[in-house]
């Protein structure tokens, strides 16, 4: 009892110091010493609805910040202006225990070491463009080939590695807007692209992301968020027992370099059929390398609709992904191999996280049959994705 009191005082001090930011290392400290109920209570009392900000190091000689959004229920999402990166997403399990459900680090250094897009805003073009080339209005453009022979996630220095500019904030409103001007010819892309990504944490526990962009020359664009989810809150657990539903009757099969063949193939009778919930691990052995595929969402228009749902029975956490986009990349962390460690030193092994990246289909600039990913001058690119958390008993 005495120990609990002492540690509770230590926790209050550490909470004051961390000024509203709940991160993985705080949790480890708490988990190490505190019982579950005390942890939950302490986290809740600390949580005031709104947004806080702190300095978080520098990159390219620019000040980097970490912002923490808290909603009325004490759900918290931390986002850095370095890469527009979601560094933590703290949500309760079925017993009310709060843990981050995304891979992330407490310090900027973790990101400067270039983990594979953990939580990042990916651009100018998420996923692959075959051989780093595309032709637009009669001109051929050459991009970096940073993934074997292909271009991946915007090139050598994509939107995930630049410092964005935060817009005006209201301390009581858990909303953050980040802007970035990608100059003409940056990473080989045509046109000055003005991008704004707005993150809003709603009181129904959804992280809503609004993507906006305009350009002065026609350009491919495919912005997405690359959060790696582990709903158990602990990377010691794989995601293979999680139940997944994807509302897609078709997917885009790929060649050996992960470029879509151009077909839209029915999922029926294949390991890609998640139209009814299946455990991720049930048929993964039948998919060489694991899942890393774009699914063609069953939608008739660009309204905000449920695209995917994942449930982790042990923690009771459920994630729902809503989007206005035509596709979603389901990636099972196939290339994670334990070489990257969490702040607590735990190796991040293969299949310990999944990504659900809302998007246009990979290699669309070279596949005229796919929905166009070209933004024209005078048009406004706008789309919405929501990551909503809840629990089941």
Please report, as ranges, the residues that interact with ligand BGC according to CB under 6 A: 116-117, 127, 153, 258, 292, 329, 331, 335, 357
Shortest reach from residue 62's CB to ligand BGC, in Å: 24
For ligand BGC, give the closer residue by CB, 52 or 342. 342
Number of residues that this document lists for the chain: 393
In angstroms, the CA 290 to CA 281 distance is: 9
How many CA atoms within 13 Å lie on the side-chain side of 57? 12
Give exposure, 235-269, as e/b (b: 16+ Cβ within 10 Å): bebbbeebbbbbbbbbbbebeeebbbeeebbebee
For ligand BGC, give the closer residue by CB, 116 or 190. 116
For ligand BGC, give the closer residue by CB, 76 or 252. 252
Which residue in the list 226, 278, 293, 351 is annotated as catalytic?
226
User: How many CB atoms sit inside 10 A of residue 53's CB?
Assistant: 17
Shortest reach from residue 215's CB to ligand BGC, in Å: 23
Are the CB atoms for 344 and 285 separated by under 8 Å? no
Shortest reach from residue 94's CB to ligand BGC, in Å: 30
Active site residue 226: yes
Which two three-digit tokens encode residue 321?
A: 């992904």
Shortest reach from residue 17's CB to ligand BGC, in Å: 34
For ligand BGC, give the closer residue by CB, 325 or 329. 329
Among 319, 389, 306, 390, which Cα is nearest to 355's?
319
Shortest reach from residue 102's CB to ligand BGC, in Å: 14
Q: Residue 378 burial (CB < 10 Å; 0-12/13-18/19+)?
A: exposed
For ligand BGC, give the closer residue by CB, 43 or 85. 85
Chain centroid to CA 191: 26
Active site residue 357: yes
Which residue in the list 186, 357, 360, 386 is annotated as catalytic?
357
Q: Give me the active site residues, please.
A: 226, 357
């Amino acid at each position: 009892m005495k120990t609990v009191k002492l540690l509770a005082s230590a926790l209050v001090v550490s909470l004051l110091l961390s000024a509203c930011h709940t991160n993985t290392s705080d949790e480890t400290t708490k988990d190490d010493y505190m019982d579950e109920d005390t942890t939950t209570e302490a986290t809740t009392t600390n949580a005031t609805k709104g947004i806080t900000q702190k300095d978080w190091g520098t990159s390219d000689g620019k000040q980097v910040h970490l912002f923490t959004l808290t909603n009325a229920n004490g759900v918290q999402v931390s986002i850095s202006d370095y890469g527009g990166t979601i560094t933590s997403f703290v949500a309760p399990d079925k017993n009310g225990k709060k843990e981050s459900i995304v891979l992330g680090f407490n310090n900027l250094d973790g990101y400067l070491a270039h983990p594979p897009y953990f939580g990042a805003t990916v651009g100018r073009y998420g996923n692959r463009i075959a051989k780093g080339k595309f032709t637009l209005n009669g001109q051929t453009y050459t991009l970096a080939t940073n993934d074997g022979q292909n271009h991946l996630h915007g090139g050598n220095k994509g939107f995930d590695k630049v410092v964005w500019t935060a817009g005006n904030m209201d301390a009581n409103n858990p909303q953050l807007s980040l802007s970035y001007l990608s100059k003409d010819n940056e990473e080989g892309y045509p046109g000055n692209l003005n991008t704004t990504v707005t993150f809003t944490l709603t009181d129904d526990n959804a992280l809503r992301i609004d993507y906006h962009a305009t350009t002065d020359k026609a350009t491919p664009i495919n912005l997405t968020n690359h959060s790696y989810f582990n709903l158990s809150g602990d990377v010691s657990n794989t995601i293979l027992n999680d139940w997944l539903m994807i509302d897609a009757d078709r997917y885009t099969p790929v060649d050996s370099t992960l470029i879509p063949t151009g077909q839209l193939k029915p999922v029926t009778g294949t390991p890609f059929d998640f139209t009814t919930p299946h455990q991720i691990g049930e048929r993964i052995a039948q998919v060489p390398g694991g899942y890393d595929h774009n699914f063609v969402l069953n939608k008739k228009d660009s309204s905000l609709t449920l695209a995917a749902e994942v449930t982790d029975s042990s923690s009771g956490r459920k994630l729902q992904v809503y989007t206005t986009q035509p596709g979603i990349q389901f990636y099972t962390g196939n290339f994670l191999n334990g070489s990257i460690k969490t702040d607590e030193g735990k190796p991040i092994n293969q299949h310990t996280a999944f990504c659900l990246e809302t998007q246009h289909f990979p290699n669309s600039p070279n596949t005229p049959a796919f929905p166009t990913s070209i933004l024209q001058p005078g048009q406004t690119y706008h789309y919405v994705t929501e990551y909503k958390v809840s629990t089941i008993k």
